Amino acid sequence: MNAFSMALSEDQQSVRDWLHGFARDVIRPAAAEWDEREETPWPIIQEAAKVGIYSLDFYAQQYFDPSGLGIPIAMEELFWGDAGIGLSIVGTTLAAVAVLANGTEEQVGTWVPQMFGTPDDVKVAAFCSSEPDAGSDVSALRTRAVYDEATDEWVINGTKTWATNGGIANVHVVVATVDPALGARGQASFVVPPGTKGLAQGQKFKKHGIRASHTAEVVLDGVRLPGHCLLGGKEKLDERLARARERAAGGGSSSRGKNAAMATFEASRPAVGAQAIGIARAAYEVALDYAKTRVQFGRPIIDNQGVAFTLADMRTRIDAARLLVWRASWMAANQQPFTAAEGSMSKLYAGETAKWVTAQAMQLLGGNGFTREYPVERMHRDSAIYTIFEGTSEIQRLVIARSISGIPIR
């Protein structure tokens, strides 16, 4: 049995340092510009592709790190650079995770490479789950997929919202209801190939934070997909639906349990927590440096206990959040079940930490922290989404409470 160790391997340290250098030298100098422009930073994504960061091979290597730490290390460093640009670089991975979580080996090999494109012709992908009337309540999805047996096609109609890369993606992964009577268990995921008729971008959102990341509605109007675009295949879907109907007929809940959207979110929550940690760490470092150099009443402000203790709390919460993320990531990589919703714990605490730490950083910088001359203002805006997307903090608490109690708390 291997001795317990929390030390990163040489390879992990090398990847971390490489990404940190890219974040420092390429992402950070461009962060304010793309935040103001509120546009997808295609030149930065292309630069990431040219050096091998934005690529299927890179994310596959990190995803299959046996320790589980490859992805969280990468996320933390990129988002330490900037959250908006970071999300533009990694947003494709959510769609890729959806295919990995729900698709066959053939589907993974077919669609995931098309999500990234090439360094000379970069592409992005979008995962489309939320709807105008269905965010946290995934059982309320109205987007409908109907099977046309005569042509072996699925016909999809509906509107998705809050889709990262929605409408500009080369490949869209869409969660749709195939049997409304089964609620969340009557859903499936579909790949919408490039150039499919009937898919269009709706409203593009102007956001409070992560403004360099494209977020928009996706409208599906009579979209017809070949049968092989159903992730997992129809035979597997039919078997799953049959089990759900038997359970519903026997009095069991048909709306609980795993479904296509939740399988994706379960796999991605620790990675999202790592993104939040990167933002928090960046804000903390700015505040620490400022406190050491800002002189008031004849001495650096860090000489005041109130300031020093706040910085101590900021660092402690960041390190605690990282440990929760690493634990959940290790558990997932080693196929340990989340018996106490450890994935949700990591995302909850990291998101709340990012929001609190960035607020404290702004406070420590005083008036300077409220201006765009200093990056903590942008970091604070960016952090706000981490208590909202991929499950609000309230939903994470609900998931945790249900897991530790065994009671279907509402």
**What is the set of active-site residues?**
390
Question: Residue 22 has what DSSP assignment?
Answer: H
Q: Which of 109, 23, 8 is nearest to 65 (CA)?
A: 8
What pairing do the DSSP bridges indicate for beta strands 121-122 and 117-118? Answer: antiparallel
Assign 91 to helix, strand or coil. Answer: coil
Q: Where are the beta strands (DSSP E) in 120-228?
A: 121-122, 125-128, 144-148, 153-164, 171-177, 187-192, 199-204, 215-226
Distance of CA 330 to the CA centre of its chain: 18
Assign 209 to helix, strand or coil. Answer: coil
Distance between CA atoms of 218 and 223, rounded to whole angstroms? 12
Residue with tokens 């203002």: 377
Count Cα neighbours of 289 within 13 Å in the Cβ-side half-sphere: 10
Distance between CA atoms of 66 and 172, rounded to whole angstroms? 29
Query: What per-residue string of b and e applies to 179-218 under the rule 16 or more CB within 10 Å gives b?
Result: beebbbbbbbbbbbeeebeebebbeebebebbbbbbbbbb
Q: Which of 128, 136, 135 is nearest to 396 (CA)?
A: 136
Distance between CA atoms of 209 and 319, rounded to whole angstroms? 24
Strand partners, 176: 188
